[in-house]
Amino acid sequence: MAIIRLHQPLGGPFAELDRIRREFDRLFDEFTSGFFPGERSGVFPPVNVYEGKEHYLLTAELPGVDPSDVEITVTEDSLTIRGERKPDDGGESANYHRRERGSGTFRRVITLPDKVNPDKVEATSRRGILYVRLPKAEEVKPRQIQIKSA
Per-residue model confidence as pLDDT tens digits over 61-94 = 999 899 999 999 999 889 999 999 887 767 667 7
pLDDT at 41 over 90: no
Please, how many CA atoms are within 13 Å of residue 114, restricted to the half-sphere of its CB? 16
Is residue 1 included in any domain, yes or no? no
What is the domain extent for residue 74?
43-88+104-140
Residue 52, in any domain of the structure: yes
CA dist 81 and 86 (Å) reads 16
User: Which pLDDT tens digit goes with each residue over 101-121?
Assistant: 778 889 999 999 999 999 999
In a domain, 58, yes or no: yes
- Residue 62's φ and ψ, nearest 5 degrees, are -130, 60
pLDDT category, 95, cuts 50, 70, 90?
confident
CATH number at residue 111: 2.60.40.790
Residues 6+ apart with CB under 8 A from 79: 58, 72, 73, 109, 110, 112, 132, 134
Q: Decide which of 150 and 42 is more confident.
A: 150
Residue at 17 is within a domain: no
Q: Does a structural domain hold residue 53?
A: yes
Domain contains 125 = yes
The pLDDT score that the predictor gives to residue 131 is 97
Check whether 2 has a pLDDT greater than 90: no
The pLDDT tens digits of the residues spanning 7-31 come to 444 566 777 887 888 888 777 766 6
Q: Is there a contact between 109 and 46 (Cβ–Cβ < 8 Å)?
A: no
> 45-71 burial, b if ≥16 CB within 10 A, otherwise e?
bebebeeeeebbebebebeebeeeebe
Bridge-partner residues for 10, per DSSP? Answer: none
Q: State how many domains the chain has.
A: 1
Q: Does 132 fall in a domain?
A: yes
What does the pLDDT read at residue 96?
76
pLDDT the model gives residue 94? 77
19 within a domain of the structure (yes/no):
no
